[in-house]
A = this chain, B = another copy of it.
């Protein structure tokens, strides 16, 4: 993973780029690699570290997560990693990287806005669900396809139930359908839908508004507001290791993942 485009902006990590907007707003862009932005364990660790660094900077009032122009927000985990898993201890490291990322998004004091174009799938949707405010473009598609992929979906079940309620959680998990931006807005998955061309500007506008509130008020509230969410994520961390070991030991998940990867390479 290298830093291919937009070299003029300061890069803090190989697969992420940050840029300042309007003083106290920072856009973190998921750059490099496939345009659907699968999240490798390396990228998860980088983003976790970056969020903690940005949170410690005294003049940043809001962070915007963005998949980049013409790119998906994040199309799940990088399947090439779990497709080789055998159901052993490598599962634990993977679950830890995932949980650490979610806990960082929800656990820092600085508010986080998600700007979602294209797909937000599985892990990508879960990152967005840990954010405070979710803006989607008209062509955004939100999907929780774990069951279809043959993977346990404990993080998805927990986060969806917590953020948009049990009924929507059940619908997403048990149908594995794509949620259009309209449906996602109706169901509370998106707070707002913006024209595709305006997505980043509008998300930055929302971030500027959030950044205009006093630091003491926002930072005195966010950790307590998110405490039950983080407590739940830590429970899923423990449970998820058990669930995923079972699913991967069964072997079906990897077969389905490799089939999807092969289909992607064939030009899908």
Contacts and interface: CB of A to CB of B under 8 A. Distances in A.
How many identical subunits does the complex contain? 3
A220 B148 contact: no
B213 A247 contact: no
Interface in A83-122: 111
A194 to B, nearest CB: 14
Interface in A202-249: 206, 209-210, 213-218, 220-221, 224-225, 236, 239, 242-244, 246-247, 249
Nearest to A175: B209
**Chain A binding surface SS class:** helix
Interface in A178-192: 188-189, 191
A82 interface: no
A203 to B, nearest CB: 12
A252 B214 CA distance: 7
A189 to B, nearest CB: 7
A80 interface: no
Contacts of A168: 188
A148 B213 contact: yes
A153 B250 contact: no
A151 interface: yes
A111 to B, nearest CB: 7
A100 to B, nearest CB: 20
Interface-centre pick from A164, A166, A175 (highest chain B CB count, 10 A): A166
Given A147-B218, A170-B191, 9 more contacts: A133-B174, A147-B210, A148-B213, A151-B217, A154-B224, A158-B225, A165-B165, A171-B191, A224-B243
A147 B224 contact: no
Interface size class of A (residues with CB under 8 A): 35 or more
Given A162-B166, A166-B162, A225-B154, A174 B217 contact: no
A167 interface: yes
A146 interface: yes
A217 B253 contact: yes
Contact of A250 (B154, B210, B214, B253): B214
A163 interface: yes
A132 B170 contact: yes
A152 interface: yes
A127 interface: no
